[in-house]
Amino acid sequence: MTNNEPFSDIAIVSCGTLSLELSYLKQIGFLATAHLFFTTPGLHEDIHELERQLIDRINRAKKKDCKGDCRLWRQVLLCESR
């Protein structure tokens, strides 16, 4: 799978704290991904909710991105810093 567009074959799951930055990078063409998924910002305070939302967003990303062949699916997880 060779593609010159950065991140075009990757679904990104991130903390919502980074939504403005990642959306901007997508807007200017640095991130060519069609799929950005965000959790609620600040979930490091509620580990159980963070886990629930991460599982949900990862599953959504898999459904959107693997198109029937999940052996080719890749993901990036970005977390907010404390």
Mean predicted lDDT score pLDDT of the chain: 77
| Residue 39 pLDDT | 92
- At 77 the three-state DSSP class reads strand
pTM listed for this prediction: 0.72
Q: Which residue do the tokens 């063409």 mark?
A: 29
Strand (E) or helix (H) holding 75: strand 75-78
CA gap 72, 54 in Å, rounded:
20
Residue 52: pLDDT above 50?
A: yes
Alpha helices (H) along 1-82: 19-27, 47-65
